[in-house]
Structure 1
């Protein structure tokens, strides 16, 4: 580990590897921390591949100083296991950028990082882990960040990289729009199918109905989303490669715990807070929860 490093990254999965590769290409290779030791990370794109030198650190005791910027790309279901890394890498001067799903990122980190600046983000690129542990990036990477004083730290780190960064004054609306996209992707888990399934008329109708339910909750939470959003999201899936998956589907295939609560349960939970009926969520959420947590 270089004492000169100012950027660290926790979670070298699909999203983490993409960001690490973007930083490495411009000479800002982060210190990489994870559960599994890897000698290097490999990102594959249509233009070739980027190899990020390791090693991936697996023991928080190897960290000898705090970092100015820490990207966290672990699933929200892994937050408790990430706590030792956060303690080792962060102090009151650290900016933490959460490369995670959902609209509750700051709340998720509050328990582990009191007094530390946590910057939520919206990740707008499909990247998937391959059997050889490389990552296949299937579109240009892009992040959306809120307009805050700490945003400048992430902008400086990613300046000139392949990863574009947008800064949104109305981050709430952007984050909820992405949540709606993630929520309807949960249907792929229940069917065991990829994006091609959204070309079925019956799935299209179900997706529209579910997204209209989600839209009501999003608006109650302050998101300024139009009536056209459900159609736009469904069209995005219909126009995607038929074999395009999603992280929650990959976790289901691998038999891993699912992010069902922050992607789908949140609609049901916030609907109850605002007195909004969520009949479709009331069916989808228990099925996803049982698929994730059992028993049986």
Structure 2
């Protein structure tokens, strides 16, 4: 009978809920260093595949589809479902979490605590900012087009994530001012909504008219972010635009992929949050007032 080393006996048990582009990247990062996680999702699969510039990583399955079949709780859950799928993922959290389980939310927006908190143990939800370009391919595999990095708030709960991902292809950094980091990423996500409206990829930001609109929109979002406590300079809108302009022209984003696939869009947590919080603070958001209804209609219909 194989012996278990002391290191293996204390290694945290980890689950990935939502093995899409982000979840597959984290699962592959863990598997590549011998820390294969439990995989949980809506669709049964034999395994996952991640392609990077240097390698193809195949993560063995199965992808479990029934919370009753997982065989106990885990110490860390990476929740990688879309914001529109949180309620549907609640049975997974109920089955996977014990009183000390940390739920690291790999999700867009600045409202992860409010969305996921009701479904997780008290005080266990850890928001994260995801900084990597991962795209699902037509065959179901995932392509990682750049370095993978997560930013977490500098809280005690983050320690398990740092330890679990130590030495993997996914770097982790702790931010003393997580609010500013999260809002900066939200500005980037909000602007990406323009790609869903046009049906175009990153090359569209090379157009002068789109660049001008993007800057105006980002400055509107910046005013709201600052009112919410983010410390972000006047240079941030230009930096975000230039980053999009530097992407390969064919690079997409998750909200564009959802639009192309006819899936619901995360318009509320990526775009409407700016309008909602702007209104609450008396800040005009004229561009959001146009962008949000168009995204909502593109997502939810009717028509």
Structure 1 length as normaliser, TM-score?
0.98
Q: In structure 2, what is the equivalent of residue 238 of structure 1?
A: 245
Which residue of structure 2 aligns with residue 143 of structure 1? 150
Partner of 1:253: 260
Contact residue 217 and residue 276 of structure 1 kept, 8 A:
yes
- Measure, in 2, the Cα distance between the counterparts of 1:82 and 1:101: 16
Q: SS where residue 276 of structure 1 aligns? A: coil
SS in 1 for 2:99: coil
Given candidates 29, 42, 58, the residue that maps to 1:22 is: 29
| Unaligned stretches of 5+ residues in structure 2 | 1-8
Instruction: Indicate conservation of the 8 Å contact 1:37/1:58, yes or no.
Output: yes
Partner of 1:131: 138
The alpha-carbon deviation at position 48 of structure 1 amounts to: 2.0
Instruction: Within 5 Å, give how 1:212-291 maps onto structure 2.
Output: 212-291=219-298
Structure 1 runs (4+) deviating above 2 angstroms are: none
Whether the aligned pair in 2 keeps the contact of 1:94 and 1:116 (CA below 8 Å) is no
Question: Aligned partners of 1:48, 1:115: CA distance in 2, in Å?
Answer: 39
Structure 1: any 5+ residue segments left out of the alignment? Answer: none
Q: Which residue of 1 aligns with 2:87?
A: 80
Quote how far apart the aligned CAs of 1:66 are.
1.1
Aligned partners of 2:75 and 2:35: how far apart in 1?
Answer: 13
Correspondence for 1:166 among 173, 195, 199: 173
State the number of aligned residues. Answer: 294
Counterpart Cα distance in 2 of 1:57 and 1:114: 22
Distance 1:227 1:5 in 2: 42
8 Å Cα contact 1:75-1:100 kept in structure 2: yes
Residues 14-64 of structure 1 show CA distances to partners (whole Å, capped at 9, x for unaligned) of 000000000001111000000001101000011120000000000000022
1:116 Cα offset (Å): 4.6
SS in 2 for 1:94: strand
**TM-score w.r.t. structure 2 length?**
0.96
Q: State the distance in 2 between where 1:95 and 1:114 align.
A: 8
CA distance in 2, matches of 1:126, 1:261: 21
- Residues of 2 paired with 1:111 and 1:31: CA distance? 23
Deviation per CA, 1:162-190: give whole Å up to 9, x if none.
Answer: 10111000000000000000000000011
**Which deviations, in whole Å up to 9, do the C-alpha atoms of 1:227-282 show, x marking residues without a partner?**
00000000000000000000000000000000000000000000011100000000
Match of 1:59 in 2: 66
SS of equivalent to 1:68: strand
